[in-house]
Amino acid sequence: MSNKSLKYFFGRAKKEKWAIGQFNFSTLEQLKAIVSAAKKLKSPVILGTSQGEANFFGLEEATLLRDLYRKKFPYIYLNLDHGKDIDLIKKAIDLGYDCVHFDGSGLDFQENLKITKKIVKYAHKKGCLVEGEIKSIQGSSEIHKELPKEVLLEDIEKAKEFVKKTGIDSLAVNIGNLHGVYTKSIRLKIDHLQKIKKAIPIFLVLHGGSGTSKKDIKETIKNGVVKINVNTELRIAWRETLEKILRKHRGTVKPYNILPKVISAIEKVVTTKINLFNP
């Protein structure tokens, strides 16, 4: 077990104005790359598994490997990202995930509030943090051609009520951020983040860390974001590198001759992000 909790690092990040990266994974290469970057930079890191990633990789496998890697570098944490299935969320909490993100954004506000509150009660008994989401963060962790038609911004009054009544530890904010990488660039609404920060005392989380400009990322950290989620850029590094090597070495069938390059490419992305979030 890590001797410093994720909450401890969120608190420090808030005070010292830096952010912890959450990097999603669904393969061992991605996991090895994230852990290696965190260890070399001596930076705490969150391993993220969405429902799809968790179902593919296995919740047990994820927790066992987190525990194993913690023996080499202690500040490695696990978050269930965009959990919607209550049974899966409970299982993750029971297995010892450090944090679960309940994404009730598809539900009616009151229903979301009610379920989130129940999850908070269950999770806190087991020392697990809970991230909430009110308005859905648009996009998905892929490459997109078209931007969504509308920019969604958090309703501050609703967010205040939600945070107060649910007891969540952190909130995934809507400030024009999107999941995925887009051919057109997006700008975050930093003025809206400032309003959220003034109104809400809990930890703020930025989803959609891929493809966002360095300047915007820096501004979000300056204005209270303590956790930034990254997925698509890691997936792109995984696929592009794997394709390139397989094409170059057509006769090769030894995975251990191919996959180290994939790990290095992903590690490079993670290293760049950690250096940006936590210089």
Residues 19, 129, 230, 172: is their CA dihedral positive or negative? negative
Phi, psi of 209 (to 5 degrees): -70, -15
Cα separations in angstroms, 225 against 10, 34, 54, 121, 131 = 10, 21, 25, 24, 13
Which residues are 22's β-sheet partners?
A: 46, 229
Given the rule CB under 6 A, which residues bind ligand 13P?
24, 81-82, 141, 179-180, 207-210, 229-232
Q: Under a CB-based contact definition with an 8 Å cutoff, are residues 92 and 111 in contact?
A: no
CB of 260 to ligand 13P, least distance (A): 24
Active site residue 81: yes
What distance in Å separates the CA atoms of residue 65 and residue 61, rounded to the nearest whole number? 6
Phi, psi of 257 (to 5 degrees): -95, -20
What distance in Å separates the CA atoms of residue 263 and residue 76, rounded to the nearest whole number? 18
The active-site residue out of 81, 98, 169, 216 is 81
* Short-list 38, 31, 5, 22, CA closest to 225: 22
Active site residues: 81
